[in-house]
A = this chain, B = another copy of it.
Amino acid sequence: MKQSLVIIKVGGKIVEDVGSLDRLLKDFKAIPGNKLLVHGGGRSATAMAGRLGIESRMVDGRRITDSDMLDVVTMVYAGLVNKNIVAKLQACGINAIGLTGTDCNVMLSEKRPVKDVDYGFVGDVKSVNAAFLAGLIEQGVVPVLAPLTHNGKGQLLNTNADTIAGEAAKALASTFRVTLIYCFEKPGVLMDENDENSVIPYLSYYDFPRLVQEGIISGGMIPKIQNAFEALQAGVSSVLITKAEALDKFTGTTIAL
């Protein structure tokens, strides 16, 4: 019987506000067993870039990462956000370690080829050092992953945090019974985006195309759910989409094949 592992991805908004971060860490601590946290930090990166006179350019919600912006996200994600979360987890008695994809080659990626858009120093994940992560987790350590990878040739690459969480979940599914939880601003996938009480409790692979066609699921939610289906197909036990404030209740939208 495999041990359980809960992988939680939280967006920048949650980890960048002291009040909501403290609440998150309290809820995170309350989850029993093995855990892994993946965080974003886009809002802080945009703010820091602004202070440095560096313009933030986004295409379809994805950041264009030139050399200056790569330095900013490296500072903000791997430094400011990651180390403050780790210090706070340590203060809660959780033996956290902050990692990027380059540390012990945890996540190797390749620079996204230029097609319609040149995203710059953005990496698509090629492989995960699951053995190293599993070894830490089995020692009782909680990895805290910042959304940065490397190409193995000395180049850091900016990588979407949802993708990091999905890839970590898939790679660890052979060792652990993995629950992947995506936290975002809403309490789940909503039937009506203006009604937080309209959470769809179960979303299946068969319902998904219809809900996209009807415009109920749109925008950034589409790749998030596609990631979820891929994770399930790769052996992840369950995927939940919820908001961080509901983490203690495990409510939200369960994605099912």
- Measured CB to CB, the residues of A under 8 A from B are 48, 51-52, 71, 74-80, 82-84, 86-88, 90-91, 95-100, 102-105, 141, 148, 150, 152-156
Contact = CB atoms under 8 A, between A and B. Distances in A.
Given A78-B98, A86-B103, 20 more contacts: A71-B80, A74-B79, A74-B84, A75-B75, A75-B76, A76-B79, A77-B79, A78-B82, A78-B83, A83-B100, A83-B102, A83-B148, A84-B156, A86-B102, A90-B102, A90-B154, A91-B154, A96-B103, A98-B100, A98-B103
25 contacts: A51-B52, A52-B52, A75-B75, A75-B79, A75-B80, A77-B79, A78-B78, A79-B79, A79-B82, A83-B148, A83-B156, A86-B103, A87-B102, A87-B150, A87-B154, A90-B102, A90-B105, A90-B152, A90-B154, A91-B154, A96-B102, A97-B99, A98-B100, A98-B103, A104-B141
Given A79-B76, A83-B156, A156-B84, A104 B95 contact: yes
